[in-house]
Amino acid sequence: MKILAVGDIVGEAGLDTLSALLRRVKREHGIDFTVVNGENAAGVGLTPKQADEMLAAGADVLTLGNHTWGKRQIVPYLDDSPYILRPANYAPQAPGRGAAVFDGPQASRILVVNLIGRCDMQFGPDNPFLCADRVLAEYAGQYDIALCDFHANATSEKIAMGYYLDGRVSAIWGTHTHVQTADERINPKGSGYITDIGMTGPIISVLGVCPEQSIAMFRGDLTEYFKTAPGDCALSGAVFEISMDGKCRSVRRVWERYAR
Ligand code: FE2
């Protein structure tokens, strides 16, 4: 089966890009199941309406990250919708869930796990490595293949998680840093891996933000709220081809321009 992971949707521009391109990309690659990271749809966080739009665009599951709580109106949605995950290593009292089993092609059962890193990020989340162990043990026997979106900042933490889960999940990809890395590969025990699948948003931008605003921040000038940059966008992601024994057969980067 073919899994498409789509990188962080940034702002309304990213949402428009997803809505315009996702069905064509899925058709062209013969995609069976799509996971979209949606935590930046509102810049910081996402609203229930934006989550609905991403699902309507063709996402099967939405994953999140450090901006999960950026728009508080998403809180009841996290409990109500079965198609959205927040990091599994958040505190147990946090709303929503961090992993779930979804219907895949040919009656397959797909476990999707969302984790967040701690290296150069918030200190609150639980250890993502030990959390991954717990989640895989909890769902043992209830899934055919497992996928993991690791929303993390440090390349070292992502690469280490890639090897830690090698052979235990069919594919693991990084999100959060918004720049697609060129290290897509199959790890030694058969898991598809890429350090970051990139973002879905404006091409001429600093991680989605207007360059002038980002430069002003780095210069130490007074800045306003960050705005999503104008201009053409790109949908970034990766396609993992997985056989029914759970091994990944190929990983391909996806980068599609959307003229605006
Ligand atoms: Fe993030």
Query: How far apart, in whole angstroms, are the C-alpha atoms of residue 22 and residue 57?
Result: 7
Query: Ligand 1: distance of its center to the CA of 153 in Å?
Result: 8
Residue 222 has pLDDT above 90, yes or no: no
Question: Where in the chain are the domains?
Answer: 2-258
Check residue 251 and give its pLDDT.
Answer: 98
pTM score over 0.95: yes
Give the model confidence (pLDDT) of 46-103 as tens digits. Answer: 999 999 999 999 999 999 999 999 999 999 999 999 999 999 999 999 999 999 999 9
**pLDDT tier at 22, thresholds 50, 70, 90:** very high
For residues 151-166, give the mean pLDDT.
98
Check residue 223 and give its pLDDT.
Answer: 84
Check residue 224 and give its pLDDT.
Answer: 83
Give the model confidence (pLDDT) of 181-193 as tens digits. Answer: 999 999 999 999 9
Contact (CB, 8 A) for 191 and 165: yes
Query: Ligand 1: distance of its center to the CA of 178 in Å?
Result: 8
Query: Ligand 1: distance of its center to the CA of 139 in Å?
Result: 26
What number of helices (H) and strands (E) belong to the chain?
6, 12
Catalytic residues: 67
Task: Write the CATH number of the domain with boundaries 2-258.
Answer: 3.60.21.10
How many C-beta neighbours within 10 Å does residue 95 have? Answer: 15
Query: Ligand 1: distance of its center to the CA of 12 in Å?
Result: 16
Cβ partners under 8 Å of residue 244, min gap 6: 1, 106, 108, 144
Give the model confidence (pLDDT) of 98-123 as tens digits. Answer: 999 999 999 999 999 999 999 999 88
Query: Ligand 1: distance of its center to the CA of 145 in Å?
Result: 25
Angle between helices 128-138 and 155-164 (to 10 degrees): 30
